[in-house]
Amino acid sequence: MLSVLADRTYRHLFAAQVIALVGTGLLTVALGLLAYRLAGMEAGAVLGTALAIKMVAYVLVAPVAQAFTASLPRRVFLVVNDLVRAGVALALPFIDQVWEVYVLIAILQSASAAFTPTFQATIPDILPDEQDYTRALSLSRLAYDLENLLSPVLAALLLTVIDFHWLFAGTVVGFLCSAALVVTTTLPTSSAPARQAGIYERTTRGLRIYLATPRLRGLLALNLAVAAAGAMVIVNTVVIVQALLKRPQDDVAVALGLFGGGSMVAALLLPRLLDRLSDRTVMIPSAVLLGVVLLGFAEVSWSHSIGWVALLETWLVLGIGYSAAQTPTGRLLRRSASPHDRPALFAAQFALSHAAWLMTYPLAGWLGATIGMPSTLAVLGVLTLAAAAAALLLWPSDDPETVEHAHPELDPTHPHLATAGGHRHAHAYVIDDLHHHWPSRRPG
């Protein structure tokens, strides 16, 4: 897996990602403490609102930002967004009103919504070999999981010697180091000419490619499955551990650590697994696993009440399924768009996946507070299985990269027909300016 780090450009970008993630982890802890300083017992409401603002920014800003900035140099664009995020983190310690938190979080998360899809779309251009790209996806998943595990520990250690305000300084340093590492790279640019199109066409292009591609319609359903299971863990772990099991705060971290550990196990195994199996064969059964485990834990909880060991075992398996169901996503996006359309497609995935989280976060919290945890597990388990079943129907089992199709609408002298070999031909098929619809499975 580490062999991909031999590529200097990717190595620097991966280091930038890791450092920025550590800074973001420190920001999460510091923001919670800041909210408590400003709002006291209302801190939970402040953080909940901030989380909602984050998700709304992710859903709305990513496609629009990509549409307006597609022609900008990638390196400049990434660096500017890192600097914006660093500026917001620098300002946060000096605010004294809750509304100021909301404004700054909206700016910071909008910058992240612009940064992340562009960053993700750059990696397949740097690592064109599919095996290398698969290993890069697994490394990225490991980075996220390690951040979830280590950032709270690092923050706790720092808080023994400094005030929480200084955690924001760590976030600033993280974003500045990320910007510095990006500056040291030479990023590829699209060879396609700039597309003269209106803002609507540019903003919706990624979404239209997404919804016109069968495998990505299946991915849309998988996004919901992953979000439903993940929301159960993220939203309700603290309630289960402390309110139901009456265990100390440290055990919340233990339970979430098992979930993250399961995700890391899957990330380590996926490169070799995906060398042998298709993405569909890995992702859909993993989503089914999530639903089955949630329903199984619901049944156990109804029969014997929720137990500590059972919770840890369940969260570990959920972590494995969670990572296996979503880590290969980049591979699907990579082969579903031409290089110059990848940023738009990654932005569409970023927005749509977070739209699923925007629905399931409040659903998990509301159900847990009103109908109890066993029933919440059952409802989210059913939702996960329904989404997995939809993915099974929407994503054809016969999903070749090369598709035979015809272009009766094109003039015989069109350059595409000259290079492809006539009106009927076969090549790696993606939705673009010449291919507006997915061909029937038996073209006629």
Q: Is residue 178 located within the same domain as residue 222?
A: no
Q: Is residue 150 located within the same domain as residue 248?
A: no
How many residues can be counted in the chain? 444
CA angle in degrees (0–180, nearest 5) for 285-291-294:
140
Cα 415 from Cα 26, distance rounded (Å): 54
414 is a domain residue: no
Average pLDDT over residues 24-49: 77
Task: Output the pLDDT for position 195.
Answer: 53
Cα 300 from Cα 304, distance rounded (Å): 6
Q: How far is CA 198 from CA 64, 68, 202, 211, 285, in A?
A: 12, 10, 6, 20, 41
Q: Is residue 143 located within the same domain as residue 232?
A: no
User: Where are the alpha helices (H) located in 239-306, listed in sequence order?
Assistant: 250-276, 279-304
pLDDT in tens, 314-351: 999 999 999 999 999 999 999 998 888 888 899 999 99
Average pLDDT over residues 297-314: 89
Number of domains in the chain: 2
Mean pLDDT of the chain: 86
Q: Is residue 20 located within the same domain as residue 111?
A: yes
Q: Is residue 181 located within the same domain as residue 94?
A: yes
Q: Is residue 138 located within the same domain as residue 223?
A: no
Average pLDDT over residues 51-69: 83
Domain that includes residue 279, residue range = 205-395
Task: Output the pLDDT for position 435.
Answer: 84
- pLDDT for residue 442 is more than 60: no
Q: Is residue 230 located within the same domain as residue 179?
A: no
**CATH code of residue 356:** 1.20.1250.20
pLDDT in tens, 346-378: 999 999 999 999 999 888 888 888 898 999 999
418 is a domain residue: no
Task: Output the pLDDT for position 46.
Answer: 77
Structure-model confidence comparison of residues 197 and 208, the more confident one: 208
Q: Is residue 108 located within the same domain as residue 238?
A: no
Place of tokens 């290993």: 135
Non-local CB neighbours of 28 within 8 Å, separated by 6+ positions: 151
305 is a domain residue: yes
Of the ranges 144-148, 168-172, 205-209, 222-226, which one carries the lowest mean pLDDT score?
Answer: 144-148
Which of 63, 41, 13, 318 shows the shortest CA–CA distance to 187?
13
Using the 3D structure, point to which of 378, 395, 412 is the last residue of a domain: 395
Q: Is residue 266 located within the same domain as residue 215?
A: yes
Task: Output the pLDDT for position 232.
Answer: 92
Percent of the chain with pLDDT over 90: 38
pLDDT in tens, 216-250: 999 999 999 999 999 999 888 888 888 888 888 77
83 is a domain residue: yes
Cα end-to-end distance, the chain, whole Å: 44
335 is a domain residue: yes
Using the 3D structure, point to which of 157, 189, 221 is the last residue of a domain: 189
* Residue 188: band (very low, low, confident or very high) from pLDDT cuts 50, 70, 90: confident
Q: Is residue 25 located within the same domain as residue 171?
A: yes
Q: Is residue 229 located within the same domain as residue 259?
A: yes
* Residue 107: band (very low, low, confident or very high) from pLDDT cuts 50, 70, 90: very high
